Amino acid sequence: MTKPIKVAWVGGRGYHSSYGGVENAIRQLARATASMPDIDSWVTGRGQGLGFVERQESGLQLVEAPKWLGRMGQGLCTLGLLLYVLVRVRPDTLFLFASGPSLLSFLGRLFGARTVACLRAIDSQRDGWKGLNQQVLKLGEYSATRVAHQCTVNSLAMQRHFAAQGLETVYIPNGITPLEPDRPGFLAQKGLESGRFLLYAGRLDPVKRLDVLLAAHHSLPKESRLPLVVAGGKCKNRAYQAQLEAMAADDVHFLGHLGQQELSTLMRHCALFVLPSVLEGMSNSLLTAMGAGRCVLCADVPENADVVSGDPRVLFEADNVEALRGKLTEYLQHPPYRDEVALAMKTLSQQFSWQRSAHAFCQLAREGRGYE
């Protein structure tokens, strides 16, 4: 009997981490492979022990870095985990997620692993990265498309971006993460009513343009606007964090970083999900909102437009406060119209599946071993 193909998923903070899109994607993809008899999945991340720990969970192999290594930063932690996996696990295929980890593609090739770089956005274009950090990310994207055996992207816009440079990539979209059950009493605890609040869920990063949403929300008539819930962790840029807090109206709820159950509760009960971000790969939160049957509004950057099939009802001009204000007013004044658009987004979301995406990733691993 042929041995299962060892596949390592590297680049996230851990199987149970809800830090961001990379962690969610790795968790969902690896979880989907647990039922594939020819795939042996290994997931790396930070741990709490004194040394590296290997353990099994839900049909997966987890590799956790020592606590002291995690404290040295995500870059060094990823490097340490990668070297451990290459030496100890000897994977057949290595999936390196995001621009930074893709810089290490040469190590995968050096150790004989089929190396697949998995870009989730063009990270070097983020507002927060300047100077040396930005150059490192650019080098990571160069490595992903020219050093790794293959490079995957999760948006058609990214595929077009690299195709214009004569570079071939494999498009594998994100799937939709199912919502967890409501956390009992959570809405009441936060002073919220079902169907009576707007939701933003994402990092407080300048590129996410929460400031645009706060300005549009603040400009709405107080008597007719709904409260805005901001679900996202602290911003690394303290000046931007202070700017956001100063812009917020008195009915904006900054809830900080939330667990999956709390976030699912908000997603299921919001009146409208808003994504003002101008730099995305394929937004997990946008897909989740669509899959949950929520009405959505998103900036008209190509990555978002591709997800919603260019539907003008849910797109507004990026960085345009007045355009967003107009869309918010339209939806708040016409709930039946909002419900109609929500149903259309729910139907559209059915084309996205983590199971299908996992099969596409694993097919790359099979082809690397010579299977069809």
Q: For every one of its 372 residues, what pLDDT tens digit does the chain have, with 9 covering 90 and above?
A: 588 999 999 999 999 987 888 999 999 999 999 999 999 999 999 999 999 999 999 999 999 999 999 999 999 999 999 999 999 999 999 999 999 999 999 999 999 999 999 999 887 776 556 677 788 889 999 999 999 999 999 999 999 999 999 999 999 999 998 899 999 999 999 999 999 999 999 888 888 999 999 999 999 999 889 999 999 876 777 888 889 999 999 999 999 889 889 999 999 999 999 999 988 878 889 999 999 999 999 999 999 999 999 999 999 999 999 999 999 999 999 999 999 999 999 999 999 999 999 999 999 999 987 644
Question: Does the residue 181 lie in any domain?
Answer: no
Q: Give the predicted TM-score (pTM) of the model.
A: 0.87
Order of strands across the sheet that contains 114-119: 53-57, 60-65, 39-46, 5-10, 93-97, 114-119, 150-153, 170-171
Are 58 and 168 in the same domain? yes
> For residues 270 and 191, is the Cβ–Cβ distance under 8 A?
no
Instruction: Read off the CATH number of the domain in which 202 is found.
Output: 3.40.50.2000
Are 84 and 192 in the same domain? no
How is residue 232 written in tokens?
């996202």
| Residue range(s) defining the domain that contains residue 244 | 186-351
Question: Does the residue 180 lie in any domain?
Answer: no
Q: What is the DSSP string of 218-252?
A: HHS-TTTPPPEEEE----S-HHHHHHHHHH--TTE
Distance CA 274, CA 198 (A): 7
The pLDDT assigned to 61 comes to 98
Are 332 and 361 in the same domain? no
Question: Does the residue 344 lie in any domain?
Answer: yes
Distance CA 102, CA 125 (A): 16
- Residues 6 or more apart whose CB falls under 8 angstroms from that of 310 comprise none
Q: Strands 272-275, 296-299: parallel, antiparallel or unpaired by DSSP?
A: parallel
The pLDDT assigned to 203 comes to 84
Are 327 and 248 in the same domain? yes
Are 25 and 132 in the same domain? yes
Are 347 and 200 in the same domain? yes
Are 95 and 240 in the same domain? no
The CA–CA distances, whole Å, from 164 to 154, 290, 359 equal 17, 30, 27
Are 341 and 362 in the same domain? no
Are 123 and 200 in the same domain? no
Rg (CA), the chain: 21
Task: Residue 334: name the closest of 219, 193, 224 by CA.
Answer: 224
Are 55 and 191 in the same domain? no
Question: Does the residue 295 lie in any domain?
Answer: yes
Are 361 and 347 in the same domain? no
Question: Does the residue 179 lie in any domain?
Answer: no
Give me the number of domains the chain comprises. 2
The pLDDT assigned to 214 comes to 97
Question: Does the residue 22 lie in any domain?
Answer: yes
Are 86 and 105 in the same domain? yes
